[in-house]
Structure 1
Amino acid sequence: MSRYHPLLVALHWLLAIAILVALFMGTFSLAETPNSDPNKIFGLRGHMSVGISILVLMLIRVITRFASTRPPKVETGNALIDTAGSVAHVGLYVLVFAMCISGLALANLAGLPGIVFGGYGTLPADFSEYGPRAVHGIIAKLLMALVLLHVAGALYHQFIRKDGLIRRMWFGNRKS
C-alpha cells in the first residue's frame, strides 16, 4: 500500500484549508478589528464555526488514522530528519487540538457562544483579560511555524528527494 485511506486524504486537505482560513481570520482580521466594531461578531461567528469544525474533523481524523492501515514511513536515510518529521506530525496534532481547546476556553470565559450565536450580550472591551487569549495567540504562532515546516518538508520530498511522498496524501489507487 502506498497511499493513505481516502478519508484521511480528504480530511488532510479539508483541514489544511480550514486551519489556514482560521489562522488567517484570527491573525489578520479579528486581531485587527476592535471589539466595539459591529463586524467583529460576524468575524467571530465565522472563526468560531471554522474552529469547531476543525475540532470535529480532527477527532474524525484521529479515529480514522488509528482504524485504517497506513503506508510505511518514508525514510530519508538521515535519522535526524526522519525523527524531525515524526515529531512535526505529532506536533501538528497537538497544536491543532490545543488551539481548539484554548479557543473554546476563551469563548466560554468571555461568554461568546451567547453573544456570537445567540445575539444577546455585548463583547468585552478586550479579550486580553482572559488567560486563554494569550495561550491561543502563542499556539497560533507555533502552529503557523510548524505548518510552514510541514510544507517545506513536503516540498523537500517532492522536489529534492523526488520520492513521491506527496502522492501518498492524494487520491488514487492505494496499491499504486
Structure 2
Amino acid sequence: MISAPSRYHPLAVTLHWLLAVILIIALVMGSQVLEKIPNTDPEKINALRGHMMAGGLILLLTLLRIFVRFKTIAPNPAPTGSALLDKVAALVHVLLNLVVIVMAISGIALAFSAGLPDIVFGGSGQPLPISFQDFPARAVHGIIAKVLMALIVLHIVDAIYHQFILKDNLMKRIWFGKR
C-alpha cells in the first residue's frame, strides 16, 4: 500500500495557483470592469475578448486539474478537530470545481445566445446587444460569480485558519517541494 504524500503533485500545485490567479482576474474583470463599460463603447469588445479567453482557459485548466487530481495520490485530508468543519471543507473543494465549470458553461451560453463569438472574435462588425441583462444566461452567470466569490473567500479563510490558528502548516501541502 502506498502512503499518502505530504504534498500535492507538482502539476496539481501549478494548476491550483495558476487557476487562482486567472480566476481572480476574470472575476474582477467581469464584476468591476465589464459591468462599467457601456455596450456602445468599442473597448467593450476587447474587454470581452480577454474575459472570454480567460473563461475558456479556466474551463480547460479546471478540467485538467480534476483529471490530475484523480490520477495522482493526494495528501490525506487535513483535520480541523471538528467533524462539521471537515465536511464543510470537503464540500467547498468539490463545489469550487463544480461552480467554476457551471460558471464557464453559463458564460458560453451567454456568449452564444448574444452572438458574441462572431462579434468578438469574428470581426463581423455587428454591434453588441444593447444590454446583456435581456439574456437569461447573464443572470445565471452573475449569480454563479457571486457564489464562486463566496466559495473562494471560504477557501482562503479555511487556509488561514489552518495555517495560523491550527498551525498545522497546511499551505506547505499546496506548494512546491519534495512530496
How many residue pairs are counted as aligned between the two chains? 174
For 1:1-176, what aligned pairs fall within 5 Å after superposition?
A: 1-120=5-124, 121-174=126-179
Amino acid at match of 1:8: A
1-structure distance, mates of 2:121, 2:129 = 15
Residues of 1 paired with 2:140 and 2:72: CA distance? 33
Deviations 1:4-52 (A, max 9, x none): 0000000000000000000000000001111001110010000000000
Structure 1 residues without counterparts, runs of 5 or longer: none
Equivalent residue of 1:31, what SS? helix
Secondary structure at 1:17 match in 2: helix
Please give the alpha-carbon distance, in whole angstroms, between the structure 1 residues aligned to 2:82 and 2:156: 19
Q: Provide the secondary structure at the position in 1 that maps to 2:162.
A: helix
The Cα RMSD (Å) is 0.6
What is the rounded CA distance, in whole Å, between the counterparts of 1:101 and 1:134 in structure 2? Answer: 13
Q: Structure 1 length as normaliser, TM-score?
A: 0.98
Q: TM-score, normalised by structure 2?
A: 0.96
Gaps of 5+ in 2: none
Q: In the TM superposition, what is the alpha-carbon distance from 1:94 to its structure 2 partner? A: 1.1
SS of 1:134's partner is helix
Tell me the percent identity: 55
Whole-angstrom distance in 2 between the partners of 1:81 and 1:32: 38
